[in-house]
Amino acid sequence: MANGMKRTALTAAWVVGHADGQHCLYRNGTVVVEGEKVLYVGHDFDGEVAETIDFGEAVIGPGFIDLDALADLDTTVLSYDNHPPELKGRVWPESYMRAGPREMYSPDELAFQKRYAFTRLIRNGITTALPIASLFYRAWGETAEEFDAAADAAADLGLRVYLGPAYRSGNLVVNAERQIGFHYDEARGFQGLADAEAFITRHENTHGGLIRTMLAPDRIETCTPDLLARSGAAARAHNVPIRLHCCQSRLEYDLVLQQHGKSPLELLRDTAFFAPATILPHGLFLSGVNGITHDAPDHDILCQSGAALVHCPLVMARGGKVMQSFPRFRDLGVTIGMGTDTHPADMIQNMAIGVMTARIAEGNATCVSAADFYNAATLGGAEALNRPDLGRLVPGAAADLNVIRLDNPDIGQRIDPIQTLLLNGSGRDVSDVMIAGRFVMRDGIIPGVDEGEYHRRAQAQFDGMVAQYPDRTLFHPPVEEIFPTSYPLG
């Protein structure tokens, strides 16, 4: 071989290739990988290869891009049946705030939590991840030290990531009358941004480009206008993506309107927040939809900003919320990527629920297709990150791919791999994952990871965290009252 790099041919019953600006399907296709890149995609390859791996009845496709990838233990299990948030430890009581919020995890636990979560992402065929974790359990923001450890874990496991510690200048608090208000500490927000910028300088484009960085101001309602303005300027100066939770809840929309006299998107426009890669989870609450009666040019601002939305239909549907709507944003030309944002990090389940909730939102079964969501989970994420080398299998692209089995009897009958995946597939059908030409999971095994041990350790860490809930819950009830069982204990 000309340059001495090893070539490997991967074959399967179906290959998702890419031609003329869109995905295409090859029946009995071949992908040839050379070094970290895709060399060839098609039916027959007449060059020499060192090895051929045939995956049989499976689909080889581009790895999924997760723009809101859970880097945490599964804490949504605590909110599934337990409401409202201010009585269930998800809004800090004033008493806890006054005593000084504290870290509920040790540095070791924070490092493990991310390594563990990264293995869950790989298992689900995710090859590029922008981690997200809850700040409920933190003294304030995320730390640069835990992200140094996260960079090591991602490099070790071979996961492509965009990392940046989350920071904020404010936090919701609830008083004894159950009124929800805000505690602000703007200096702490500025320090968080400074630490995040130092992190960018240390880690951007390291480990052969596998580790990239981003800015991650927490949520629009936890950032002051000055912090938003400085964050946008920093994203432009460092030329890194910036992600901000925005248009996520009714409470957020109302709080921003109350505090600033403008809608969340008007606030972003007026603080010059937008940068070349602005990534906004979750795009649910905009003027005129999901019960927002306030009149603001939210859709125009979004379109003109070039920002991408992150759609996380599974976690939102669990909370009774749907995007209004995926096809409407698609038709407006808004870039839409996908995020898992919760456990399981199952992008296949997310795509399936995305189709259902979009069709429910529009009352129309023809408004979206399986391909729309497969596009969002691959091409949409790549566009959000300005990475034309990701999200597609085409010569010269990064060799980031997943192999999904189609021979599990649970998958039923099939005529087309993509529709079949969304109908009957799940993240558990992902068998092999390659990132930058390296197998990070082979035949269901992640090298060097004892998943049983990770599972036990994660549960023990989770139990320790749950035990601390009374301290941080309004009126400090015992754990059994905060999280009752579904039925009385016999």
d(CA 281, CA 350) in angstroms, rounded, equals 14
- Of 70 and 401, CB closest to Zn ion: 70
Quickly tell me which residue has 């016999």 as its tokens: 490
Structure tokens at 401: 């791919």
Q: Are strands 216-217 and 64-70 parallel, antiparallel or unpaired?
A: unpaired
To Zn ion, the closest distance from the beta carbon of 64 in angstroms equals 16
To Zn ion, the closest distance from the beta carbon of 204 in angstroms equals 24
To Zn ion, the closest distance from the beta carbon of 72 in angstroms equals 11
Q: Is 175 helix (H, G, I), strand (E, B) or coil?
A: coil
To Zn ion, the closest distance from the beta carbon of 334 in angstroms equals 17
- Of 18 and 245, CB closest to Zn ion: 245
> What DSSP string runs through 382-402?
HHHTT-TTSSS--TTSB--EE
- Of 241 and 281, CB closest to Zn ion: 281
To Zn ion, the closest distance from the beta carbon of 423 in angstroms equals 26
- Of 219 and 269, CB closest to Zn ion: 219
d(CA 294, CA 302) in angstroms, rounded, equals 16
To Zn ion, the closest distance from the beta carbon of 7 in angstroms equals 40
User: CB-based burial of residue 16 (10 Å sphere; 0-12 exposed, 13-18 middle, 19+ buried)?
Assistant: buried
- Of 245 and 330, CB closest to Zn ion: 245
For the chain, helix, strand, coil in percent to 5 are 40, 25, 40
- Of 146 and 341, CB closest to Zn ion: 341
d(CA 67, CA 337) in angstroms, rounded, equals 7
- Of 32 and 345, CB closest to Zn ion: 345
Core vs surface per residue 278-314: b (16+ CB within 10 A) or e: bbbbbbbbbbebbebeeebebbebbeebebbbbbbbb
Q: Rounded to whole angstroms, what are the CA distances from 190 to 228, 274, 388?
A: 10, 18, 33
- Of 101 and 281, CB closest to Zn ion: 281
Core vs surface per residue 459-475: b (16+ CB within 10 A) or e: eebbeebbeebbebbbe
User: CB-based burial of residue 53 (10 Å sphere; 0-12 exposed, 13-18 middle, 19+ buried)?
Assistant: middle
d(CA 312, CA 68) in angstroms, rounded, equals 8
Q: How far, rounded to the nearest angstrom, does the alpha carbon of residue 1 sit from its chain's CA centroid?
A: 39
To Zn ion, the closest distance from the beta carbon of 66 in angstroms equals 11
- Of 30 and 342, CB closest to Zn ion: 342
To Zn ion, the closest distance from the beta carbon of 117 in angstroms equals 14
To Zn ion, the closest distance from the beta carbon of 219 in angstroms equals 9
Footprint on this chain of Zn ion (rule: CB under 5 A): 68, 281, 341
d(CA 449, CA 441) in angstroms, rounded, equals 10
- Residue 85 CB-half CA count within 13 A: 14
To Zn ion, the closest distance from the beta carbon of 171 in angstroms equals 17
- Of 33 and 133, CB closest to Zn ion: 133
Look up residue 251 and give its amino acid. L
